[in-house]
Structure 1
Amino acid sequence: MAELILHHYPTSPFAEKARTLLGFKQLPWKSVHIPPVMPKPDVVALTGGYRRTPLLQIGADIYCDTALIADVLEHIAPTPTLYPPLHKGMARTLAQWGDTTLFWTSMAYNFQPQGLADMFGAQPALAKTFADDRMAMNNNQTRLRPKDAIAAYKSYLRRISETLGSQEFMMGDVPTIADFSLYHPLWFTRVRTPSLAGILELTPAVLQWMDRMAGIGHGEHEPMNSADAIAVAAASTPASLLTDSTFQDDHGIPLGSAVSITPESFGKESSEGELVAATRTHFTLRRTDPRAGTVQVHFPRIGYVLKKLETPA
């Protein structure tokens, strides 16, 4: 199998989820640091437009969104499993809540003035660049104000603590996908906005669980530059590791059509190409880039919008 290449930046919470997943699976990986804000020309060369962080590259296959990345890592290294049979449905459901409701509540809380000072210090220009970039990604969606997030975040932390009870992890003695999805928003509070991290002390069981999650680490990795990663894609032939292949047509769009795939919310830049898979779990499009060559870009079905293009991509 081709090497695993994670495109990320150190302070990204979803990248921390992916890094910890790689550590849990004990898979070696290459680390490509990408910009936290646009422009991201090397990312767009691989995805055709999608710009959210992180991406997992395996040869000429680009996997978007940590929900799908987790499935790919599970296929590569089935044990230890992220989806224990007795708790598979609940673990996925809790993970989706962690990646959405909990994440946005955490970010609203973290982006108070004290948190922004932790993140950017005396660099107002950098803070403005980041704020402008995220405002563009937000696409005028309504988000919690920081003060409104305080009570919600406290309630969610209590619920996580109650779910843990006397267990080591959310579903028992070992982590599942739920643990990784609940961990990364809290990690951001603890690591990136330490002046606001006192909220975590209200739930000691959560802090102890976070210590256990942090102890998983990121596994064996080494740096790679983005130009070399693009060269890997250009020298490779797409070969998806996603095992479900049955066509599920919910849109009236046949395979081979020119399509766009766009996140439902936040960072709604589209990727365009030829639809080569639409299964119960994922979409895949094929596209060609002058530098990256022919690549396949994969998205989870949940959270993404598929549309047919009137003209070829």
Structure 2
Amino acid sequence: MTELILHHYDEAPFAEKIRMVMGIKNLKWRSVIQPSALPKPDLMPLTGGYRRTPVLQIGADIYCDTQLIAALLERLHPEPSLFPDGNPGLGMALGSWANGPYVVTSVAISMGVDEPFAGDLDLPAHFLKDRKKMWRLQFDADTLGPRLAGYRTQLDAHTDFLNQQFADGRPFLGGDRPGWVDMHAMWDPWFLIRFAPAEGERAYGRFPHIAQWLKRLDALGQGTRVEMPNADSLDVAKEAKPLPFTGIAEYDPIGIIAGTQVSISPSDYAEDRIMGEIIGTTVSSVSIRRNDPRVGDVVVHFPKIGYTVEPV
């Protein structure tokens, strides 16, 4: 099997979810550091315009979005499972909560305070401007101040879900072992504590069981991480061949056939449009082939949830 190459940056909370998955499964992987804000010249040849991290590369196959990456790693490396309680459907479905209203609430708080992203972070000067543009479909970052109290109230309500789970003293949300539900829920405290420390303390400082849970998650490690130069990851893609044609899922309601030229874009924020030729779909994913002079033919894989696929 070709090695796992994760494109990410250390301050990326979504990437932290996948780094924790690497730790749970004790996987060896190559780390390629990408910029935290545009431009991302060494990522675009692989993704065709998709800007978010993390991105998982296996040869000339490029996997976008944490949900898809987690499902792939679970399939390729089933033990230890990300679903130790035996509820994979529920575990994946919780992503629609965690990656939706819970995340939006925390991001709004971090950008609405007097000093956005005031934590001890290695971020470029234009990071805030980049994120304002990226999140513009969810809120106007320049008018968040008067609405902070409302967002804090929502965050406390989301946090109460965690408190209810931990009320019986369990070490992880699903029980005795960590799983994908923990990765979902850790995003917000992990993010706020780093990106808006005062808000993180307000929201979570009064709950010692949440602090202990975060320590247990941190102790999982990241597996075996080996750094890789950006150019080397592009060479890997150029020298590899994508996996064979996968076919179109029966009764796929998208109604497009293999070979159709499509655009794929996130439906929540960061409306990048990625163009390519449909080569396969499953009930939960869509795969397109595209070509870039730097890497040749690659296949880029997206989940269907959270993305819009349209013929062009």
Indicate how the Cα distance of structure 1 residues 76 and 9 shifts in structure 2: closer, same or farther if over 3 A, else same: same
What is the aligned partner in structure 1 of residue 130 from structure 2?
Answer: 133
Equivalent of 1:214, from 203, 218, 222?
218
Q: How does 1:132-281 map to 2 (within 5 A)?
A: 132-142=129-139, 145-165=147-167, 166-198=169-201, 199-239=203-243, 246-281=249-284
- Deviation string, structure 1 residues 252-280 (Cα, Å, up to 9, x no partner): 21111111111101111111111011210
Give, as a single letter, the amino acid of the residue that structure 2 aligns with 1:74. Answer: E
8 Å CA contact retained: 2:3, 2:29:
yes
What is the aligned partner in structure 1 of residue 118 from structure 2?
Answer: 117
CA distance in 2, matches of 1:226, 1:173: 38
Indicate how the Cα distance of structure 1 residues 245 and 174 shifts in structure 2: closer, same or farther if over 3 A, else same: farther
What is the aligned partner in structure 2 of residue 81 from structure 1?
Answer: 81
Secondary structure of the corresponding residue to residue 97 of structure 1: helix
TM-score normalised by L of structure 1: 0.90
CA distance in 2, matches of 1:245, 1:253: 9
Shift of 1:62: 0.4
8 Å CA contact retained: 1:91, 1:171:
no
CA distance in 2, matches of 1:116, 1:274: 39
TM-score normalised by L of structure 2: 0.91
Worse-superposed segment, 269-278 or 196-205: 196-205
8 Å CA contact retained: 1:247, 1:278:
no
Indicate how the Cα distance of structure 1 residues 147 and 84 shifts in structure 2: closer, same or farther if over 3 A, else same: same
What is the aligned partner in structure 1 of residue 55 from structure 2?
Answer: 55
8 Å CA contact retained: 1:17, 1:66:
yes
Shift of 1:55: 0.3
- Deviation string, structure 1 residues 79-108 (Cα, Å, up to 9, x no partner): 111134642232222233112221111122
CA distance in 2, matches of 1:187, 1:237: 37
Shift of 1:29: 0.6
8 Å CA contact retained: 2:261, 2:311:
yes
Q: Which runs of 5+ in 2 are unaligned?
A: none
Give, as a single letter, the amino acid of the residue that structure 2 aligns with 1:236. Answer: A
- Alpha-carbon RMSD: 2.2
Shift of 1:57: 0.3
Indicate how the Cα distance of structure 1 residues 221 and 106 shifts in structure 2: closer, same or farther if over 3 A, else same: same
Indicate how the Cα distance of structure 1 residues 308 and 269 shifts in structure 2: closer, same or farther if over 3 A, else same: same
Secondary structure of the corresponding residue to residue 42 of structure 1: coil
8 Å CA contact retained: 1:248, 1:278:
no
Indicate how the Cα distance of structure 1 residues 219 and 84 shifts in structure 2: closer, same or farther if over 3 A, else same: closer
8 Å CA contact retained: 2:32, 2:228:
yes
Aligned residues: 304
- Deviation string, structure 1 residues 154-208 (Cα, Å, up to 9, x no partner): 2211221112222121111112211101112211122333333212122222222
CA distance in 1, matches of 2:59, 2:218: 29
CA distance in 1, matches of 2:272, 2:294: 20
Shift of 1:245: 6.5
Matched, 1:299 2:302: yes
CA distance in 1, matches of 2:121, 2:181: 30
8 Å CA contact retained: 1:44, 1:51:
yes
CA distance in 2, matches of 1:139, 1:197: 23
Identity fraction in percent: 38
What is the aligned partner in structure 2 of residue 31 from structure 1?
Answer: 31
8 Å CA contact retained: 2:104, 2:138:
no
- Deviation string, structure 1 residues 36-70 (Cα, Å, up to 9, x no partner): 11111211100111111110000000000000000
CA distance in 1, matches of 2:228, 2:27: 16
Indicate how the Cα distance of structure 1 residues 39 and 116 shifts in structure 2: closer, same or farther if over 3 A, else same: same
Richer in helix (by share):
1
8 Å CA contact retained: 1:110, 1:146:
no
8 Å CA contact retained: 1:109, 1:153:
no
Secondary structure of the corresponding residue to residue 252 of structure 1: coil
8 Å CA contact retained: 2:247, 2:280:
no
Indicate how the Cα distance of structure 1 residues 205 and 269 shifts in structure 2: closer, same or farther if over 3 A, else same: same
Indicate how the Cα distance of structure 1 residues 117 and 84 shifts in structure 2: closer, same or farther if over 3 A, else same: closer
